[in-house]
Amino acid sequence: MKELQSLLVSGKPLFITIDGFRQAMLAAFPLNGKIQEKPEIKATFGMSIEEMLAYLDTHTWYQLESHLALLEILNTIKQESSTPITLTDEFSDEQLPENSIAYHRVFDTIMSDSYYWFSSKQLEADLLTAEANPQISCHFLHINSPGGEAWYLDRLSETLRSCEKPILTFYEQMCCSAGYYIGCHGQRIYAMTQNDYVGCIGTMCSFYDFEPYFANLGIKKVEAKATKSDLKNKVFDDLRKGKDEQFVKDILDPMNAQFLSEVRSQRSKIADLPDDTPVLRGETFYTPQAVELGLTDGCKTMVEAIEETSTMGREYTEAKKLKTAVYNI
């Protein structure tokens, strides 16, 4: 039962028989209408099943996953750090202690808008809310992503650049492609280990053409276009036929130029590198090489990175108070 409950709240895809599904649903949602709580669930995840369901009333599934991850990080901070730190995902709570840190989790596939996956639009909204909260003094970007959807990243980048409060980026395992598009906006960027990899700065598109497979099954695609709609879907039809010149020129190259410009504006060591250097052509690097190239600033533990973020936040708050005092003289 414990293993079943853990699987159901994990968010992982499950392959299950119909009978197994019935048993799982009856176990999780008994006929008496009450959820049978198990103390070990809250001990493992930091929230009971009822608390998770209540949380999902006002949050996405991805936000729940991020909140559970935050609870685990808070437990680690409590055990390993003597510094009083408030790391939060309650960005609008003005009852937070002064110098609280906004926790932003950028994990797995990046999407522009999603319930189950990371959402660029949601991060933008969270950044703006945290910026408006006087009790929050800095942002902590926690990244483990291979990349994802490019759409909306230009708008998200504008918001990240406009943040007045300092940003620290901390990544584990990977911070690649769209993940680095977001992560490069940290004033400081740290990897968790020497074996994490970062980069893959570039733009691409891939999809599968199933028409030959369907044709072998006797399934034929029928398509008709209006007389003046001859260019409808032409770019994608050309792609399927192996003619990618127009798509590369009109779509991929401009997106890639935006990406390179953004990285260059945020990372000084990369700013003057020529376009044909490997770091700007999609190459990926482990931490030692990444530090040499200027993609990242070093390697720290999670707690060390959060403590440094806290220091950045305090320095920001003190500087703002001093500035206000000078203006009031």
Unique residue bearing structure tokens 């909260």: 133
pLDDT at 194: 97
Q: How far is CA 328 from CA 40, 278, 302, 317, 323, in A?
A: 55, 51, 39, 17, 9
pTM, two decimal places: 0.84
Contact criterion met (CB below 8 Å) for 160 and 167: yes
Q: Which residues of the chain have pLDDT under 70?
A: 1-15, 18-45, 328-329
Which of the listed CATH numbers 2.40.10.220, 3.90.226.10, 3.20.20.370, 3.30.1300.30 matches domain 59-327?
Answer: 3.90.226.10
- Distance from C-alpha of 320 to C-alpha of 274, rounded to nearest angstrom: 38
- pLDDT per residue as tens digits for the range 217-254: 999 989 899 999 999 999 888 988 889 998 999 999 99
- pLDDT per residue as tens digits for the range 274-326: 888 999 999 999 999 999 999 999 999 999 999 999 999 999 999 988 887 77
**Structural domain boundaries of the chain?**
59-327
pLDDT at 150: 94
